[in-house]
Amino acid sequence: MNNTTLRLSSSIGSAFVAKVEKVSGQKLLACYQCGKCSAGCPMAAHMDILPNQIVRMAQLGMQKQLLASKTIWTCVSCLTCNSRCPKDIRIAEIIESLRQTALHNGQRDDRLNIMELSPAARGDLPPIAMISAMRKLTS
C-alpha cells in the first residue's frame, strides 16, 4: 500500500468513526476494553465479533469488516450491554448505527418483514425476536 492509499484509507476510517459517533451519540474512545458488555451479552455465542470487539473495531474505523459482520444482525437490542458498561457507553446504539449504515448503503435485501408472516407464525416467535426485527425494520 503506498502513502497516498494509506492517507485515503485513514481519512475514510476517520469519516466512518465520526459518522458512528454522530448517529449513535456515543464517544467510542471512552471504551477501555474491559469486556463486560460481551460477558453479559445473551447473543454472544451466535456472534462472529463480540460487542467489545465491535467497539474496538469502530474506534479503528474498520467499516468494511463491521458492516459485513453477522453480529450487527444477531444483536437483539436487549440493552444488557448498556447496563453493564462502567463507562456508560451505549453499545446497543453503536450496533444500531452500524445496522442503519448497512441499510442505508443498501447492503441488505433479505430482511424479515414481520407483517408478511402469518398470524400463527408471528405468535410462535419469542417477543424479543419481534422487538428486534421491528427495530431493524424501522432503522
Among positions 49, 58, 81, 98, the unique one binding ligand SF4 when judged by CB under 6 A: 81
d(CA 1, CA 139): 36
Grid cell digits, residue 31: 471504551
Number of other CB atoms surrounding residue 48 within 10 Å:
12
* Contact status: 43 vs ligand SF4 (CB under 6 A): yes
* Contact status: 12 vs ligand SF4 (CB under 6 A): no
* Residue number, 76 or 133, with CB nearest to ligand SF4: 76
Number of other CB atoms surrounding residue 116 within 10 Å:
8
Kindly list the residues in this chain that would bind ligand SF4 in the complex (CB under 6 A): 31-37, 41-43, 51-52, 55, 75-81, 84-87, 89, 91-92, 95
